[in-house]
Amino acid sequence: MSTPSPVETLSRHELADLQLTKLRQAVDRALSTSHYQAKLAGCGIACGEDLKTLADLRKLPFTVKDDLRQAFPDGLKAVPQSEVVRMHASSGTTGIPTVIYYTRADIDRWTELGARSAAATGCTSADVFQNMMSYGLFTGGLGLHYAAERLGMMVIPAGGGNTQRQLKLMKDFGTTVVHATPSYLLHVYDQLAEFGVDRKDLKLQRAFVGAEPHTEDIRCRLEALWGIQVFNSYGLSEMNGPGVAFECVHRAGMHLWEDAYLMEIIDPDTGEVLPEGAEGELVLTILDRQATPLLRYRTRDLTSIIAEPCACGRTHRRIRRIKGRSDDMLIINGVNVFPSQIEEVVMKTAGVGSNYQILVKKDGALDSLIVRLELDAPHFSDDMRDLEALRSRIAGNLMTSISLKPKVELHEPGFLPVSEGKAVRVIDERPTLPEGPEGSCP
Ligand code: ADP
Ligand code: ZN
């Protein structure tokens, strides 16, 4: 059983004092960026000291994904280039990604939060951690990699995909913990027999799952199939990445590390801050990051706060499992995709019409993305080889833009329904399972 670190058991009063001190510093750092200088002008806050209490946070405007896009690439950078040691990027609503910079201290802080998260699940230096999240610009891979090392676990940096190799690594090195998307972990289970691996030959005890919404039933299914404990892990690149909120051994909502992030829940339509416990959109302020400060960032993730104390003794409040999004972002096998990114590629392609459809469905445990396009009349009669070349060119361009290879279908003009009024471009056929309460696995 893990012992919480002292900062995780501060009284609410001590925590609030710490947060106010850090918030003032965060505001000062933000005000050193050209973006926030313009954005905070006129809100009555000219420096951190102007915030008298934590409630003064509400005087600050929200930050949205589009702000990151407008600030691209350096409008939100608060330190000299020589102090930046890393960047990560995530999908923007169009071709411009959202970029986050990190100083050495920022990486160190992120690592600490991830290590605390892993420790809260009961992991120790005796564990072998296989990271099945993709490494790269996406924060899923590197984020928990360093955290797991910090805790002293042996890390297997497997990255995403290649299930046969994943299973071989698990078997050969006695993996006890994996980090994956829930859909991939179900898929790996489905493939055990295919690759001739017996569950009994694996030492797996725990899984950290995140990067995509999933229900309590999915957790229960994973726990029952694998015979392991499954912990929900929440993060987003704008707030560093994984390690923002994590379940402890009690697996009943995710402790959000309140010494590092301030949380608010707002009504996504009005922006009004909602009372504790109400469901709405999570808004986060990152308190320590030097390189890219972000104040009141609208995550677009829908959840609510659990304020009741947790049996583990940690005083940091928990959030319920993410219910969905307040925007149109799709999460396909853990990868974020905005329909507007697909539209941008489609519209730029000569030979295809302006009507298109995006279909998302389940193919076994995994998600599959199908993009249906109509050809212009002159192209429809083209040679099959030309059509095939066009199809694979579009698929390649989409891959470059969204980091996922969709199946592209080309159809004759008039094949897709013509919408009356607002076009229904996205059809998401993935089943939504009935939701049980948090921590309800048998
Ligand atoms: P990550 O690398 O952590 O997936 P991204 O910035 O690419 O970071 O994506 C973050 C988004 O992924 C979140 O805003 C949320 O919509 C989704 N997400 C991350 N973790 C979870 C989770 N445990 N449950 C539901 N959705 C999640
Ligand atoms: Zn707890």
Annotated domain spans of the chain: 6-327, 335-428
What pTM did the predictor assign?
Answer: 0.94
Q: What is the mean pLDDT of the chain?
A: 94
- The alpha carbon of 241 and the centre of ligand 1 are apart by a number of angstroms equal to 8
- Pocket of ligand 1, candidates 113, 247, 301: which has the most ligand atoms within 8 Å of its Cβ, to mutate? 301
Q: Whose CA is nearest to atom 10 of ligand 1?
A: 236
Q: Whose CA is nearest to atom 16 of ligand 1?
A: 301
Residue 182 in contact with ligand 1 by CB distance below 6 A: no
Residue 136 in contact with ligand 1 by CB distance below 6 A: no
Whether pLDDT at 236 is above 90: yes
Q: Report the share of the chain in percent with pLDDT over 90.
A: 86
Is omega for the bond preceding 73 within 30 degrees of 0, making it cis?
Answer: yes
Q: Whose CA is nearest to atom 9 of ligand 1?
A: 236
Q: Report the share of the chain in percent with pLDDT over 70.
A: 98
Q: Which of 92-106, 136-150, 206-220, 370-384 has the lowest mean pLDDT?
A: 370-384
The answer to whether the beta carbons of residues 214 and 220 sit under 8 Å apart is: no
Q: DSSP of 323-389, one letter per residue?
A: -EESS--EEETTEEE-HHHHHHHHHHSTTEEEEEEEEEEEETTEEEEEEEEEE-HHHHTS-HHHHHH
Q: Whose CA is nearest to atom 8 of ligand 1?
A: 236
- The alpha carbon of 234 and the centre of ligand 1 are apart by a number of angstroms equal to 6
pLDDT digit string, tens, across residues 409-439: 999 988 998 876 667 799 999 987 556 677 7
**Average pLDDT, stretch 330-341?**
93
For residue 252, give Cα distances in angstroms to 54, 119, 242.
27, 16, 18
- The alpha carbon of 307 and the centre of ligand 2 are apart by a number of angstroms equal to 11
Whether pLDDT at 270 is above 90: yes
pLDDT of res. 203: 98
pLDDT of res. 208: 98
Q: What angle do CA 248, 253, 257 make, to 5 degrees?
A: 65
Q: Whose CA is nearest to atom 12 of ligand 1?
A: 211
Whether pLDDT at 59 is above 80: yes
Q: Is 24 helix (H, G, I), strand (E, B) or coil?
A: helix
Label residue 241 by pLDDT band (50, 70, 90).
very high
Residue 52 CA, chain-centre distance (Å), reads: 33
Atom from ligand 1 closest to the CA of residue 235: 3
Which fold would CATH assign to domain 6-327? Rossmann fold (3.40.50)
| φ and ψ at residue 352, rounded to 5 degrees | -105, 150
Residue 210 in contact with ligand 1 by CB distance below 6 A: yes
Atom from ligand 1 closest to the CA of residue 321: 24
Q: Whose CA is nearest to atom 5 of ligand 1?
A: 236
pLDDT of res. 377: 80
**Average pLDDT, stretch 367-392?**
88
pLDDT of res. 1: 56
Residue 208 in contact with ligand 1 by CB distance below 6 A: no
The answer to whether the beta carbons of residues 425 and 359 sit under 8 Å apart is: no
Q: Is 209 helix (H, G, I), strand (E, B) or coil?
A: strand
pLDDT digit string, tens, across residues 39-54: 999 899 999 999 999 9
pLDDT of res. 119: 98
SS3 content of the chain, % helix, strand, coil (to 5): 35, 25, 40
Sign of CA dihedral 224, 225, 229, 234: negative
At the second CATH level, the architecture of 335-428 is 2-Layer Sandwich (3.30)
- Pocket of ligand 1, candidates 139, 255, 336: which has the most ligand atoms within 8 Å of its Cβ, to mutate? 336
Ligand nearest to the CA of 212: 1
Atom from ligand 1 closest to the CA of residue 335: 7
> Locate tokens 């909602």: which residue?
274
**How far, in Å, CA of 247 to CA of 231, rounded?**
6
Pairing label, strands 177-180, 206-210: parallel
- The alpha carbon of 313 and the centre of ligand 2 are apart by a number of angstroms equal to 6
**Average pLDDT, stretch 17-38?**
97
Whether pLDDT at 14 is above 80: yes
Label residue 94 by pLDDT band (50, 70, 90).
confident
The answer to whether the beta carbons of residues 371 and 408 sit under 8 Å apart is: yes
Atom from ligand 1 closest to the CA of residue 334: 4
Whether pLDDT at 282 is above 60: yes
Whether pLDDT at 366 is above 80: yes
pLDDT of res. 422: 65
Residue 303 in contact with ligand 1 by CB distance below 6 A: no
**Average pLDDT, stretch 334-363?**
91
| φ and ψ at residue 280, rounded to 5 degrees | -175, -160
Q: Which of 17-26, 244-253, 291-300, 336-345 has the lowest mean pLDDT?
A: 336-345
